[in-house]
A and B are shown apart, each in its own frame.
Chain A
């Protein structure tokens, strides 16, 4: 199984400041033949299901604010919130779909400082 490890487990950021979440996979999730990274990011607020933010490592889902961006390739990925808003308080998960079983990171909790 591909193990997804996120860091940090939690972070507190001031409103308007940048939040950065890292995700590392135990093996590459890059399909070299098509140059696509099979990694997505989700946001989960308390009592709600996860919401898709980013797929293929860097493509923003329709309707997701442009302050959310994804980057990285191979085994190392980053989700960046460029200017944290109060409504961004949530737990964020990365997920690989390169191979089954599809696996998620343990989650990173983002709070307001």
Chain B
């Protein structure tokens, strides 16, 4: 059973770069047709799709964040990463990594537990 686990700093200073890594375990990242995704959720609010990456390296970003986001993948390490530049308090949220099954479910079928990131000066 594939599992995902986010890791990274819980506090980032305003205008700095938020960097998170999602480690995939239990199966190979290349074992199916998946998009590796980042989603965030401000406290008490709804879900916002940030973007995703295919194992080929093709990326898709939410246009609202596109100028500040980079998602990368390292299949040898079974990891994919998020970098969000020039953060503000509005970027404070729980960040989830998730697997999008593009072959069977057409959905986010595996999620990490989430990691809280606060942005503060």
Query: CB within 8 Å of B: which residues of A?
Result: 1, 36, 38, 40, 42, 48-52, 55-56, 61, 93, 95, 97, 100-107
Contacts and interface: CB of A to CB of B under 8 A. Distances in A.
Interface of A is mostly: loop
Interface of B: 46-49, 60, 62-64, 96, 98, 105-109, 111-114
Contacts of B48: 104
A61 B46 contact: no
Contact of A42 (B49, B63, B64, B108): B108
B106 A52 contact: no
A27 to B, nearest CB: 16
A103 B39 CA distance: 10
B109 A103 contact: no
A97 B63 contact: no
Contacts of A56: 106
Nearest to B94: A49
